[in-house]
Structure 1
């Protein structure tokens, strides 16, 4: 017997607004039955588990023990710029001069996540449109 990963739960103050941010990040929809003011909101990823946002009363206080790592289909640097424009904040820039490394960002409620190098970054080629 095994267990199947159903969702990744993210505690937050405003589930719908945070789900909207992550919907933009992933290009995947917020569940059509979820809306402003809901205690729980979901982003329906194309593959894998659902992103499940839960309303909690306390604010985030310390570094995440579990975080999401994103591998963009554009370059890492283009994706970092896009996510900053969507409302993410820079936590740590661990990019190296040789192109390796990653960037740690935080979503609008302070949850950290990483942006890794894309396949084209790792291959040393430009992404295909």
Structure 2
């Protein structure tokens, strides 16, 4: 049997602060024993476990790996607004007039993430494309 991914690990300057952002973004929970100033912090959510580890060097280039988020109970645009209100910044807008595409955001430390259309938006677009709308 192969391995399982236990955590997606993100190097950062402020593990607790960044974990708080991601816990809110993913409707997850910060580890019970994670406190400000700790060297690491964990966020558990329905879809993924994220581990944030303090490192001395800052982010200097584009991420080679990033998270793609698909909203569950709101539209892509509503989710982008919610994440920006939590402190994310818009890095690139790749939405197209036909409703496809995504928005690239930076978290509190500039790590890239993308927000895609919700499943409801995808299903609606498919119904329109097939004439079932």
Taking structure 1 as the reference length, what is the TM-score of the superposition? 0.93
How far the C-alpha of 1:50 sits from its partner, in A, is 1.3
Deviation digits for residues 41-92 of structure 1, max 9, x if unmatched?
A: 0001124x41000000011000000000100011000000110111000110
Equivalent pairs counted in the alignment come to 124
Which residue number in structure 2 is paired with residue 21 of structure 1? 21
User: Partners in 2 of 1:121 and 1:62 — Cα distance?
Assistant: 32
User: Partners in 2 of 1:109 and 1:11 — Cα distance?
Assistant: 10
Which residue number in structure 1 is paired with residue 128 of structure 2? none
Which residue number in structure 2 is paired with residue 55 of structure 1? 54
User: Partners in 2 of 1:120 and 1:50 — Cα distance?
Assistant: 25
Q: Structure 1 segments of 4 or more deviating over 4 A?
A: none
Which residue number in structure 2 is paired with residue 67 of structure 1? 66
Q: What is the root-mean-square deviation of aligned Cα atoms in Å?
A: 1.0
> Which structure 1 segments of 5+ residues have no match?
none
> Which structure 2 segments of 5+ residues have no match?
126-133
How far the C-alpha of 1:120 sits from its partner, in A, is 1.1
Alignment of 1:112-123 (within 5 A): 112-123=112-123
Q: Which has the larger radius of gyration?
A: 2
